[in-house]
Chain A
């Protein structure tokens, strides 16, 4: 399977997953991710610990993120996005952009 097909398998991303991935451009641990997600979504998205734990596990297993090396506190592991994870968010960003572009006029015509 070529890498493009591989990337597309992960789309669409849930809102939570998308925010977690773009937060992990720099290494962060669980609570730091939640704060960052709140920040960039201007308080619109709040993550629960169960949701975050599940997402981190799944994303790590699928190779979209990995544990960052320098973790001083073993109970608070830092995670960071992988190169493959970057490809996935770029592809998702393009997909969302495409949706916006092709529906723009229609949305305008109905008063949006």
Chain B
């Protein structure tokens, strides 16, 4: 079964809960490619899902997946830098892949930094190329519309992630 659903960068906990509920209803996540989730039918089971935002280059991807596997977390799917892990709820020692608040905060800070770089990059392109040319192509108009939507969206996502970081900091 393929499902369309949209979760944005700060909503990872909400997404994890949703995936857990889906497994309880007998739908096991197989693959995710933004924004489509592919599920297969199983006997209902309680799985805990955790999303990790990998903060490093992918030349150690095997090592990364093996580490999680050794800890009992199955690697389900990957979407850009987001990795989806799951474990059986009644068998796991620790219901989270982060055991302290500090490391969780650290991960969010890197995510925030990357989102900011993307925002600066698309804003730069918008100023220098997209909104600053005399070409009268339809393609250019479409690009303008895409940028006009993307920039405010990214600003919104960045603010949301920033608020989440503030919250995490307060809880340390």
Contacts and interface: CB of A to CB of B under 8 A. Distances in A.
A binds B: yes
Main secondary structure of the interface of A (DSSP, over half): helix
A48 B67 contact: no
Contact of B71 (A31, A54, A55, A58): A31
B71 A16 contact: no
B16 interface: no
A48 B94 contact: yes
A54 B99 contact: no
A34 B100 contact: no
- Measured as residues with beta carbon below 8 angstroms from the partner, the interface class of chain A is 20 to 34
Contacts of B68: 49-50, 53
Interface string A51-75: 1111101100000000000000011
A50 B70 contact: no
A18 to B, nearest CB: 12
Contact of A74 (B55, B62, B73, B96): B62
A14 interface: yes
Nearest to B102: A14
A14 B102 CA distance: 8
Nearest to A61: B56
Given A16-B103, A75-B62, A48 B96 contact: yes
Interface string B85-111: 000000001101111101110110000
B62 to A, nearest CB: 5
A95 interface: no
B62 A52 contact: no
Contacts of B67: 30-31, 49, 52-53, 76
Given A48-B99, A53-B67, 10 more contacts: A14-B100, A16-B100, A45-B99, A46-B94, A48-B97, A50-B98, A51-B104, A53-B64, A58-B106, A75-B66
